[in-house]
Amino acid sequence: MKWSERRRVALRYTFAHGQGHLSTFLSSLSMLGLVLAIALLIVVLSVMNGFDREMRERILSLVPHITVSSHQPMDDWQTRRDEVLMHPQVLQVSPFTQFDALFMTGTEIETASGIGIDVTKPGSEALLASLPESARAVFNRRQDALVLGVGIAERLDAQVGDTLTLIVPGGGLTGDTGATRFEALHLAGVLETGTELDQAVALLRLETASELAGLGSSVSGLRLVSSDIFDVSKIGWQVVNSLPVGHYTTNWMMTHGNLYAAIQLSRDLVSILLFSIIAVAAFNVVSSLVLVVFDKQDNIAILRTLGASGGDIAWIFVLQGAMIGAVGVIVGSLLGALLSQLVPGLVAGLESVLDIRFLNTDVYPVSFVPVDLLWRDVAVVGSVAMAMCLLAAIYPARRAAGLAPAAVLNQDRS
């Protein structure tokens, strides 16, 4: 048989041609199973990729990759900053002062971590990037400016332009047990990054924060941005060895590493689970083609008597498996790509209708469902599904090729 004839017979068995309704029905079921499995896997992978991207690009743009601190207030931070910048993998260095404080407005009071940043140094602007230009201008201009995370602002019922009272207890890095410090601050803006920082961070000018923390002109440490976020342990070790004794470093893997590892583990486990669903769909192709062989054994016998070889018959069913796989992969990939783009809107719509939040930064790292569709994943899923369908077609094809035409025709005559 020519390839065109093999293809024509395979098309007739697979799609609605002639009277092969049972074979068409079985093929359609196999295609539907593949479409659903592939679409579901692409959607889930896109969501997990979205969490991975938000972790790397959003959260880690706000959290320092490496933090250099010392056991005493860092009064010579300009010198240390220049020394740290000599490391080839350190891109930006900015000073910061951090302290715990109470924020009060009216009868409401909340605890938060106050962070003082120097707006003139690179590396600090990322924290203010989500603010409107007017709020950034106020923060840069006023020494008593304050920016609160949206979660803290909502719990305090504070609005932009309000005056809040900041209460800093004595003690801290200096060991000072003096009087508690009070300060009236102007709320210049509300920070809404969509991350967990919205629930716990308050930003101040560096000079104000150092004064409130009892450090004078000193700072708590340095925030570093590195060129390789996955090599921060080695970079931090090299940096601290270049500094005088008494300095130490921490990095994002200590604070957010478990979260990132959990995202990666979840992605791998879900991928294994959903690839097993594709394997089940491929097994369905085996059972469907075996039933097609049983249903078409008289046609197979007639083809053999007309001169078709066992190899010809085998190729017909391999082509049928390939057609089922091709349709399932193409339709499933397109459906998965479409659904993955609709997921954020669908989730937002459900949240609006049901008046609930599926993701809240009190618990989750981001407050929305992120999606990052990677065509590499689509290609891998499609290739694996196609390979499974081709492998699934081998057993039915061998079974069809092994049918004895004389026995089949004799059985039909009797």
- Asked if residue 151 lies in contact with residue 361, where contact means CB atoms within 8 angstroms, the answer is yes
Question: Which H/E stretch holds residue 252?
Answer: helix 252-295
Whole-number pLDDT of residue 372 = 87
The yes-or-no verdict on residue 414 having pLDDT over 50 is no
Find, among 206, 199, 250, the residue nearest to 224 by Cα.
Answer: 250
* Other C-beta atoms lying within 10 Å of the C-beta of residue 125: 14
Question: Using 50, 70 and 90 to split pLDDT, how confident is the model at 413?
Answer: low
CA–CA distance, 316 with 323 (Å, rounded to integer): 10
Q: How many residues does the chain have?
A: 414
Beta bridge partners of 103: 110, 166
- Give per-residue pLDDT as tens, 377-407: 889 888 888 888 888 888 877 777 776 666 6
CA–CA distance, 394 with 41 (Å, rounded to integer): 25
Rounded to the nearest integer, the mean pLDDT of the chain is 80
CA–CA distance, 167 with 185 (Å, rounded to integer): 11
Which segment of 48-57, 243-252, 378-387, 398-407 scores lowest on mean pLDDT?
398-407
Higher-pLDDT residue of 353, 24 = 353
Rounded to two decimals, what is the model's pTM? 0.70
Domain boundaries, the chain: 3-58+259-413, 90-226
- Give per-residue pLDDT as tens, 309-328: 777 778 887 888 888 888 88
- Asked if residue 157 lies in contact with residue 243, where contact means CB atoms within 8 angstroms, the answer is no
Question: Using 50, 70 and 90 to split pLDDT, how confident is the model at 364?
Answer: low
- Asked if residue 369 lies in contact with residue 347, where contact means CB atoms within 8 angstroms, the answer is yes
Which segment of 9-18, 244-253, 332-341, 390-399 scores lowest on mean pLDDT?
9-18
